[in-house]
Chain A
């Protein structure tokens, strides 16, 4: 049965026994959806309640895509309440090309957006840490960079240099401002130059890439951060995707030029959700402040006896490769606090075979770099079984250079079968990358400690071990080549690896005797994540002693000491 229009519709008559309330009639206003109550998400197209968006960091509550944010809202989002002191408000530098209609356009935008230009600058504090901040606002001519934008940023950076303050810039831009022609182009050089001076003075610069950051801004201050953060899915590139498509006559793949793409390609340190931006920025600022190591009462660490005398070299080779042996990541987690990982070599890729970042050792900021095997096969595939590519070494070097700039000691954990041996690795200069690390590490001004925790495979290991001291876990190995490779080169028979292990002198005790390493860290019978804390307890006190030794030395002494260490080998 179809109901269709079978039902009789009632003719309405108001019932007499229900009195009308005057109040109800009087109070009635015509129902309407007030303007601005709802808005539409450009991505998922669903209607969303404006207030939810405002309270929720300007993120679509349905599909979680990010809306562009007004500059002042952004400052509210990260700054301590009332801490913002705006600089150079109202600064204007006119119409350099006398471009027709430009002044009127600026005036109209000022009226509409209540902004004086496409960037606001000033000083804020974030959880108590002071910083100079610049925030681009896309509503103002797509935050294109004209002379005023360049000038405000340059001035802010210069003041930061004078006042010895870090700089944080939230970037967003369509690129150069066409109406200002070549003058606009020069702003790229001007802002970069100001940032160079700021950097040379030893100060920290964090750029935060937001959607969209393109053109001249990408090719200047956006990409110059010591640390480059990005919001999820932000479009970041030099040439815009449409221009590229038109030029090459091809459709671009999904995700091209998005933050995740940049992270994978080594140009971004971290992607940070809006909800956590304040916390992450505050943590980074604090990690870059001088902070002394907590001095605990000195306990003479007795040289623990090495129990496992009887194990053969081959046994140790096998122990060093055991699947359940703790990985570099495990050591980082156990020995340090506040570890914050940073990614990318800024050239080509982020190599997952190397993990690096800043952490605290007893409260003191240190740079930590580890060759990372995985705990499972899946992880191992992702981490390429701990075999770094050139980009891994370049990331490590980049992070070490930062450690040098900010005066942080460097601690490296070595655990690799060797540098990755493959076509792509050669194409991108595996040899050059390793050589560069040896070259640069040799005269770093900060103390470097390298600890071999598993396999120390050849040049791939040495590229993280040009250190002031090299220590080894009792059952780790360190050699010019794998025993298999050694046997096959010298005896043309890889099966004689066991024998090779014996003659290669690759165990910790052999190497200590040869003077290649300074210290052996004793291990429990079967070292796994479960008894790692025993080893790390000892390591901590040894590391304390290490820092005590090197803290008394000046930069020149440290460099000289490291030079002599290898000069005598």
Chain B
């Protein structure tokens, strides 16, 4: 087994990893920036090494300093957490060159999955569904119409040089196509001086459904069910749950199988996530693969009774998976809310500052992953997520009730938080009935 791990991260995920290591009897090394001297991860780890000034570009993103800290402290592995260097293939490559175990997939796999076009090609070859799109550029409306039939309506026409929503139109029927295409093309010509277009099937009101997978170094891959992360604002997830209200056992098996196929096609090892868009009619499409542990991993942990961070460390230590697909059963329902220090009334402006009073709920089926404590000063340099509140109930209804109860108990004084905002989402009849998609927040 790995004997000593350096955690190249901060905040609640660093604390989460330190705890998992401790439980496994592995020594821990924290790295911290000058702004994080008093941070929980700095205090909790067996050793802590300062790696630079507050800005992450000078500390948590400095590969050279993190590698040196690892060597100096005698750690044999690095856990990158999420964000920062976690999906940086160059960093993974450098770790390998320094004989340091990178707890995650290989640099090559990260590179392959990080390149959208290559990831898409890999998935098409493996038979994983991707959003159907035009293979070549389209300049004329008749040809466009033919392609639209092939990729099925509704379709979205986009400018090849596009961006910022310009030169983009959706056509729901063949009757609408000509008008939509020509308008988009005209707009593209005006905005980018170029009217070559391409086209994709338009995924209407999709849900964001992602599958957690675990893969060891010996070709064994299992999926741990899905997470429904449709409640998101500007592509930032806010509430996640498992299982999803939209998946039948049959669909779960089908999507899970696709996720396993995807991981195998990528030669994936360690924990990873396959993101899909799910249409109302049950069609689903591969979006991308996240090659790291994710913020919302606790909901999966609770319904599967697995510790994902420990699994990561075991896989990186060269152990084979201890579970097979048959062993994986989803029990009950788990929901996670991300608590951020921000002000929803002021356009979610971050609200760093000192926490003057703090009360966090507990009790049966309530879990809090956080790095804050009473008197802690949230520095302005990093992400504004300060805690994750996760609940587990017998059913979705039960979990929602538990989450509302727990949210109601949270007291964080001194900074603004989004707790009331989260509470309101949980009250929303559409949320309660499970009728959600990625546009839920936009439509509020």
Nearest Cβ on chain A to B104's Cβ, whole angstroms: 16
Minimum CB distance partner of B358 in chain A: A1
Q: When chains A and B are docked, how far (Å) is the Cα of A195 from the Cα of B314?
A: 69
The residues of A that contact B67 with a CB separation of less than 8 Å are 33, 38
Judge if B55 is at the interface, Cβ distance under 8 Å. Answer: no
9 tightest A-B CB contacts, nearest first: A47-B64, A1-B375, A24-B318, A21-B318, A3-B43, A29-B99, A14-B25, A31-B100, A31-B99
Instruction: Give the interface of B toward A (CB within 8 A).
Output: 1-2, 22-27, 38, 40, 43-44, 46, 62-65, 67-68, 70-71, 74-76, 90, 94, 97-100, 314, 317-319, 373-375
- Give the residues in chain A near B97, CB-CB below 8 Å: 34, 37
Q: In the assembly, what is the distance between CA of A142 and CA of B314, in Å?
A: 54
Answer yes or no: A292 CB below 8 A from chain B CBs.
Answer: no
Q: A67 CA to B212 CA in the complex, in Å? A: 46
Is A298 among interface residues, defined by CB-CB distance under 8 A? no
Name the CB-closest residue of B to A39: B64
For residue A9, CB closer than 8 A to chain B, the reply is yes
Residue A98 at the chain B interface, CB threshold 8 Å: no
On chain B, the residues within 8 Å of A12 by CB distance are 25-27
Taking CB atoms, residues of chain A closer than 8 Å to B46 are 9-10
Q: Is the CB of A30 within 8 A of B25?
A: no
Which residues in chain A, 1-53, are within 8 Å of chain B measured between CB atoms? Answer: 1-7, 9-10, 12-15, 18-21, 23-24, 27-34, 37-38, 46-49
Given contact pairs A20-B1, A21-B317, A38-B64, A28 touches B76 in the complex (Cβ within 8 A): yes
Residue of B nearest to A21 (CB): B318
8 contacts between A and B (CB under 8 A): A3-B40, A14-B25, A15-B24, A15-B25, A28-B99, A31-B74, A37-B98, A38-B67
Q: Which of A10, A29, A46 has most chain B Cβ within 10 Å?
A: A10
Q: Which of B23, B26, B68, B317 contacts A33 (CB 8 A)?
A: B68
Residues in A whose Cβ lies below 8 Å from that of B27: 12
In the complex, chain A residues whose CB is within 8 Å of the CB of B318: 21, 23-24, 27
Partner of A1, one of B23, B74, B374: B374
Residues of A near B76 (CB, < 8 A) are 28, 31
Could you say which residues of chain A place their CB within 8 Å of the CB of B374? 1
Complex: A203 Cα to B76 Cα, angstroms: 62
**Chain B, Cβ-Cβ closest to A32:** B71
Q: Please measure, in the bound complex, the distance between the C-alpha atom of A34 and the C-alpha atom of B74, giving whole angstroms.
A: 15
| A14-B25, A47-B64 known; A2 vs B98 contact (CB < 8 Å) | no
Write out the residue numbers on chain A whose beta carbons fall within 8 Å of the beta carbon of B90: 49
Among B2, B25, B373, the residue within 8 A (CB) of A3 is B373
Given A2-B375, A18-B1, the answer on whether A37 and B25 have CB atoms closer than 8 Å is no
A47 and B375 alpha carbons, distance in the complex (Å): 36
B75 touches A31 (CB 8 A): yes
Q: Which residue of A lies closest to B95 (CB)?
A: A31
Residue in B43, B63, B64 whose Cβ sees the most chain A Cβ within 10 Å? B64
Minimum C-beta distance from A56 to chain B (A): 13
CB-CB < 8 A to A46: which residues of B? 64
- Expressed in whole angstroms, the Cα–Cα distance for A29 and B95 within the complex equals 12
**Which residues from B are CB-within-8-Å of A23?**
318
Residue of B nearest to A20 (CB): B1
Among residues of A, the one whose C-beta sits closest to the C-beta of B58 is: A46
B99 A49 Cβ-Cβ under 8 A: no
Which residue on chain A has the smallest CB distance to residue B320?
A21
